[in-house]
Structure 1
Amino acid sequence: MKKFNQGSNLIRFCFGFLAWGILVLPLPIFIFWLQSFLPFYLLIIINVYIVYWAVALNSLNQHGMQIYKPLIEGDLNKAQRLLRLYC
């Protein structure tokens, strides 16, 4: 079985950069391609949708962690108070 993440720092950096590009770049390239033929109002709707989901997922993670930490520490009263605040 071949092990990854071996070799010099330059090789690891290049493979990491390649993996990042394969993971991250297809969606922006697709959106850029869509801009060439979609009407302006539809592009605005798509962009608003993308930004909404990006912000919503980040906010959900932050608020979830604020409730998760007191639960792990055993402070149920604080977790319930925070849950009531957000729901």
Structure 2
Amino acid sequence: MAVVKVDKKGRLVIPQEIRERLRIDETTPLIFEVDDGNTIRIRIIQRDDQAYTSDPLWKAIHNPVFIGKKVSKKELDEIENDQWSN
């Protein structure tokens, strides 16, 4: 067990021995879950975890759509309406 403090920017440092044991580095995604009023559970998400990579928000952030032209607000509204009606 280790005791850590949160700094003024809300950051905390995971002790080196824990990072090494769990193979956590700066690219490792973590999930913080509040179990009750005083307990936080931290889970490591493996890169091949289906729950992680199949999440629609994760897909949208990591696979943005690029287009070669500017789209007007009217066209965006039409696209949005088409998507919601399907």
- The TM-score normalised by the length of structure 1 is 0.30
- The TM-score normalised by the length of structure 2 is 0.30
Larger radius of gyration between Structure 1 and Structure 2: 1
* The structure with more strand, counted as a fraction of residues: 2
